[in-house]
Structure 1
Amino acid sequence: MMRAVILALALGFAGSAALAASRPPLHDPVSLNIGLACQWQQKCMRSQQKAMKRALSYVKKSEPPTWRIHMCNRNASRKRGRVDWVGFENCIRNAALVPQRQAPKRRPRRIA
């Protein structure tokens, strides 16, 4: 009888721990961003977190030019404040990228 009570308590604690782990991490903005972008799908969140770690270590190690970082940030952004880290990692490692040409400045028309 005592073993059944202990087993029931252990299962109860294990179930509450699983619920706590699946709750959104409101105090961690990076995890919150990834969770919202992935709609809380665990496989997507894992791939985004791995890509984030790889991309950040690559940027720290190789120090790519600023234009490349800005371009990849623009390409990888989904909505305001959300980043697709897999897209950012693919972009930042792409050696074929070239800086965008700036459009010539338009001069205002003179009215004679």
Structure 2
Amino acid sequence: MSTSHTWRTALLLAVALLGGCGPSYSYRYSPPPSMMGMNCINSCATERNHCKQMARLQENSDQALYQANLRSYQHCQAGKSKKDARNSCYYPSYPFNSGASYACGNDYDSCYQACGGTITRVLNKD
């Protein structure tokens, strides 16, 4: 067995073994005690919902643009030889999700804590 094959096998085995390992956590949200803090948190929730809605709209817009570009590519290829199509038709790249929805959650957590709430990470005992 060659050295590179041994290393490759060892690396794949390590990745497979570590893939499901590690502790899992959940989060406990404790609101602030004051009514003003609760109103602030309600505002955070409204902003998070708005952020998620905007992220969905952006994703839909990106998907529609990709579909239009794909149709344009297919139209460009029609009636051309493979060589001509390869030189003049450009396959569109898909605008992968930017993670805006994930950012909405991070913004919410920051807002929640700024309002006086606390977020505690809890180790799950499986």
| TM-score scaled by length of structure 1 | 0.27
Greater Rg by CA: 2
Q: Which has the higher strand share?
A: 2
